[in-house]
Amino acid sequence: MNPVEITENNGPVILSQPHGGTYLHLAADVPAELSGKLNERGRALADTDWHINRLYDGLLPEATVVEAKFSRYLIDANRDPSGTSLYPGQNTTELCPTVDFDGQPIYQNGTEPSPEEVEARRKNYHVVYHAALSEQIERVRKKHGVVLLFDCHSIRSEIPFLFEGQLPDFNLGTNNGSTCDTKIEETAVSVCAKATGYSHVINGRFKGGWTTRYYGNPAKGIHTIQLELAQRTYMDEFPPWLYHEERSANLRIHLKKLLSCLEQLISTFT
Q: pLDDT digit string (tens) for 192-248?
A: 999 999 999 999 999 999 999 999 999 999 999 999 999 999 999 999 999 999 999
Q: Give me the CATH code for the 4-267 domain, please.
A: 3.40.630.40
How many whole angstroms separate alpha carbon 222 and alpha carbon 141?
8
Alpha-carbon dihedral of residues 182, 230, 212, 2, nearest 10 degrees? -140
Q: How far apart are CA 172 and CA 130, in angstroms?
A: 22
Assessment of whether the complete model's pTM goes beyond 0.75: yes
pLDDT in tens, 124-155: 999 999 999 999 999 999 999 999 999 999 99
Strand order in the sheet with 170-173: 4-7, 64-68, 13-17, 147-155, 222-230, 170-173, 200-202
* Domain extent listing, the chain: 4-267
* Beta bridge pairs of residue 15: 65, 150
**Are the C-beta atoms of residues 170 and 198 closer than 8 Å to each other?**
yes
Mean pLDDT on 107-112 = 94
pLDDT higher than threshold 70 for residue 30? no
pLDDT at residue 33 above 70? no
The confidence band for 24, taking pLDDT boundaries of 50, 70 and 90, is: confident
Rounded Cα distance between 22 and 133, Å, is 19
Which among 78, 215, 233 has a CA at the least distance from the CA of 155?
Answer: 233
- The 10 Å Cβ neighbour count of residue 98 is 14
How high is the mean pLDDT of the chain?
A: 94
Backbone dihedral region for residue 236 (phi beyond 0: left; psi -120 to 50: alpha; all else: beta): beta
